[in-house]
Amino acid sequence: MAEFTMELSDEQKEVRDWIHGFAADVMRPAAAEWDEREETPWPVIQEAAKIGLYSLDFYAQQFFDPTGLGIPMAMEELFWGDAGIGLSIVGTGLAAVGVLANGTEEQIGTWIPQMYGDAADVKVAAFCSSEPDAGSDVSAMRTRAVYDEAKDEWVLNGTKTWATNGGIANVHVVVAVVDPDLGPKGHASFIVPPKTPGLSQGQKFKKHGIRASHTAEVVLEDVRIPGHCLLGGKEKLDERLARARERARNPGGERLKNAAMATFEASRPAVGAQAVGIARAAYEVALDYAKDRVQFGRPIIDNQGVAFQLADMRTQIDAARLLVWRASWMATAGKPFTSAEGSMSKLFAGETAKKVTAQAMQILGGNGYTREYPVERMHRDSSIYTIFEGTSEIQRLVIARTVAGVPIR
């Protein structure tokens, strides 16, 4: 039996330090500028592509780390560097995972390279699921995909919102309703290839945080895409729909495992790891400041009121990381998430990041409230971690229903 250890291997430490170097030397110095510009930091993404940090290969290598810690480690370091730029670098991965999870080998080989482009001409991709009336409640989705058999084309109509990289992406992955009677089981995912007529960017949002990451509406008006752009293919979709219709007719029958929920449980720790990175960054700034700043003739860290805050911050960050690592290890080891451990990690890490960055601002006093210091940006950035990829309330709902043994929906 393998010996239990929480020590990273030399190889893992090497990768972590390499990412940390990029985060410290390239991302940190650029963070304030791109936050103010509220634009996608293309030059930084290009730098990441040049060294192989912005590529499917890199994420695939981390994904296949047998301990499960490759992805959370990479996420923590990148988001320690800066969350807005970090999301610009990893946002494409959300769309790529959509293709990896549902696409055929041919679709994976065709579309994922076009999502990343190459170092000379970097591209990004977008994953478009949320809609104005369908956020937490995915079953309220209205974007329709209708099959035109004569032309072997799908026709998409609807409005997506909150899409990271929406409208500026080379490739959009769009989730749409193919059978409105089946709720979420009647949804399917489609590739919208580059420059497809009918897809346009709607409003670009001016946000509170992660401002270097582009977030926009995506409008789909009679968007015609070839039949082969349905992820997984028509045959598989028809089989899946037939099974769902059968279950709808026979609700007492055997419940199939909810594959989408299992995927969320496995992907949520990666988002939690991003929040851990932001929290750690703010904590480090606050610790240094508390040691340097003198009031009443002594460093402010000599006051128990400040020191205890730092102790709590550090404890919560470490606890969040441990929950993230546990869930990531479980996903890699194929352990069932019997207590929604993936949701637990995202919930705790997101809430911790928001709390710790607020405490960091308090420890920096007036300076913490200014843009001269990075903690106010980190606090703004952290706030999204209780909202996207499932709000904190939805995580609690999933955990509560899982531990109670009742269906999640």
Ligand X SMILES: Cc1cc2nc3c(=O)[nH]c(=O)nc-3n(C[C@H](O)[C@H](O)[C@H](O)COP(=O)(O)OP(=O)(O)OC[C@H]3O[C@@H](n4cnc5c(N)ncnc54)[C@H](O)[C@@H]3O)c2cc1C
**Residues with Cβ within 8 Å of residue 104, at least 6 apart in sequence:** 231, 232, 233
Tell me: does residue 385 bind ligand X (CB under 6 A): no
Pairing of strands 298-299, 199-204: unpaired
Site for ligand X in 68-97 (CB under 6 A): 94
Which of 66, 393, 403, 409 contacts ligand X by CB under 6 A? 393
Q: How far is the CB of 377 from ligand X (least distance, A)?
A: 15
Give 218's strand partners: 160, 201
CA 49 distance to own-chain centroid = 19
213 closest CA partner among 89, 97, 118, 128: 89
Mask: binding to ligand X, 260-299, rule CB under 6 A, as x and -?
----------------------------------------
Mark the segment that binds ligand X (CB under 6 A) among 24-32, 183-191, 333-341, 389-397.
Answer: 389-397
State which amino acid sits at residue 43: P
Mark the segment that binds ligand X (CB under 6 A) among 60-68, 76-84, 130-138, 278-286.
Answer: 130-138
Q: Which is nearer to ligand X, 175 or 375 (CB)?
A: 175
Site for ligand X in 3-42 (CB under 6 A): none
Which of 16, 388, 401, 408 contacts ligand X by CB under 6 A? 388
Tell me: does residue 127 bind ligand X (CB under 6 A): yes
Tell me: does residue 309 bind ligand X (CB under 6 A): no
Mark the segment that binds ligand X (CB under 6 A) among 156-164, 217-225, 270-278, 300-308.
Answer: 156-164
| Residue length of the chain | 409
Report DSSP letters for 294-330, one per residue: EETTEEGGGSHHHHHHHHHHHHHHHHHHHHHHHHHHH
Tell me: does residue 129 bind ligand X (CB under 6 A): yes
Tell me: does residue 248 bind ligand X (CB under 6 A): no
Tell me: does residue 352 bind ligand X (CB under 6 A): no
Q: Which is nearer to ligand X, 67 or 114 (CB)?
A: 114
Mask: binding to ligand X, 200-239, rule CB under 6 A, as x and -?
-------x--x----x------------------------
Tell me: does residue 164 bind ligand X (CB under 6 A): yes
Q: How far is the CB of 389 from ligand X (least distance, A)?
A: 6
Tell me: does residue 135 bind ligand X (CB under 6 A): yes
Pairing of strands 144-148, 199-204: unpaired
Q: How far is the CB of 124 from ligand X (least distance, A)?
A: 11
Count of CB atoms situated within 10 Å of the CB of 231: 24
Degrees, nearest 5: CA angle 96-101-103 = 80
Q: Which is nearer to ligand X, 164 or 267 (CB)?
A: 164
Tell me: does residue 130 bind ligand X (CB under 6 A): yes
- Active site residue: 76, 131, 217, 389, which one? 389
Tell me: does residue 382 bind ligand X (CB under 6 A): no
Count of CB atoms situated within 10 Å of the CB of 286: 26
Q: Which residue is nearest to ligand X (CB)?
A: 135
- The answer to whether residue 389 is catalytic is yes
Which of 9, 136, 139, 200 contacts ligand X by CB under 6 A? 136
State which amino acid sits at residue 356: V
Integer Cα distance of 343 and 275 in angstroms: 13
**Long-range contacts for 239-247 (Cβ within 8 Å, ≥24 apart)?**
240/185, 241/178, 241/179, 241/182, 241/185, 241/186, 244/179, 244/182, 244/185, 244/186, 245/179, 245/182, 247/185
Report DSSP letters for 30-98, one per residue: HHHHHHHHTS--HHHHHHHHHTTSSSHHHHHHHHT-TTS-HHHHHHHHHHHH-HHHHHHHHHHHHHHHH
- Interface residues toward ligand X, by CB under 6 A: 94, 127-130, 135-136, 162-164, 207, 210, 215, 384, 387-389, 391, 393-394, 397
Q: Give catalytic residues, as residue numbers.
A: 389
